[in-house]
Amino acid sequence: MRIRLDEQLEKLNEELISLGVLCEKAISRSTEALRQQAALSEEQISDLNLQIESKERSIEERCIKLLLQQQPVARDLRLISSALKMVTDMKRIGIQAGNIAEIVDVNEVSNGEKLFEGDLHNLVEGDLNSSVPAEGDLISQPKTPAKTEEIPPISQLPELGEEIVKMADATRQMVTESIDAFVNKDEEIANKVIAMDDEIDSYFVEVKDKIVDRLKKSDVHGERAIDLLMVAKYLERIGDHAENIARWVLYSIEGKVR
């Protein structure tokens, strides 16, 4: 009986690692798309999300079978219950990483423009009389491609763009290290990830305040400003999910909910 349980727990561990790799891939792709402002194909976004959802369902089914058939206790029960919690956060990381890629895609492909253009202090000056998007629609709508000069990647542009890139890189590090903490059952790494969430929150507040300040001066393109704010918010939420994973890692090791 014990040997059978150990085998099933090892398979669960392998599936969680596999899901973590997919999440790292999703956030890495989206971060690079943001950095270079190069659109990912719809297939790249949807295929990865489907893989994440499929792996999530497989892990949930395995956990439920283990709970019903093996009736685990103590550390084994903590591992299984933590896995059920972690897969939810991992799935949401994949979804939000896909949302970031879609925002970059809409600006790059549909509009024929970068998410940023020219001086980032202006968040791209646009037609201030452009139509207001429908209620609930936070992504820019297609319009006639604008004739603009060639624009360098976001990482080469000043201040606000640099803040977004730093935030994206820090978020990617949180996701990677939260998975490492689980794989290695490392409390130190898990605590480091939890502490990093404050850094992500600070980046978000800084970006939000700068956007609000520019909107007050009425010299920005509203839709593009909203796109940028949504990117920052998705990154902030990904950081929250990485923190949650780290907390569940600690619970599986210590048996205490923080």
Q: 171: domain CATH number?
A: 1.20.58.220
pLDDT for 86: 94
DSSP 3-state of 201 = helix
Whether residue 177 is contained in a domain is answered as yes
Q: What is the rounded CA–CA span in Å between residue 62 and residue 66?
A: 6
* C-alpha distances in Å from residue 190, one per residue of 126, 202, 248: 44, 20, 9
The CA distance from 173 to 195, in Å, is: 12
> Taking 90 as the threshold, does the pLDDT of residue 144 lie above it?
no
Is pLDDT of 150 > 90? Answer: no
pLDDT of 118 above 80: no
Question: Is residue 100 scored above 90 in pLDDT?
Answer: no
- pLDDT value at position 225? 75
Per-residue pLDDT band for 198 (boundaries 50, 70, 90) equals: very high
| pLDDT higher at 152 or 213 | 213
Q: Does residue 37 surpass a pLDDT of 70?
A: no
Residue 127 lies in a domain: no
SS3 80: helix
- Residue with more model confidence, 37 or 176: 176
- Domain membership of residue 212 (yes or no) is yes
More confident residue, 164 or 125: 164
Residue 128: inside a domain: no
Question: Under 8 Å CB-to-CB from 6, ≥6 apart: which residues?
Answer: none
CA angle, residues 102, 107, 112, in degrees to nearest 5: 135
Q: Does residue 223 belong to any structural domain of this protein?
A: yes
Q: What's the domain range around 237?
A: 2-119+146-254
Contact present, 80 and 63 (Cβ < 8 Å): yes
Q: Is 248 within a domain?
A: yes
State how far the Cα of 121 lies from the Cα of 132, in Å rounded to an integer: 22
Q: What is the CA radius of gyration of the chain?
A: 21
In this prediction the pTM is: 0.76
Q: Which residue has the tokens 């790799």?
A: 21
Indicate the number of domains in the chain.
1
Q: Is residue 58 part of a domain?
A: yes
| Mean of per-residue pLDDT scores for the chain | 77
| Residue 139 included in any domain | no
- d(CA 233, CA 87) in angstroms, rounded, equals 21
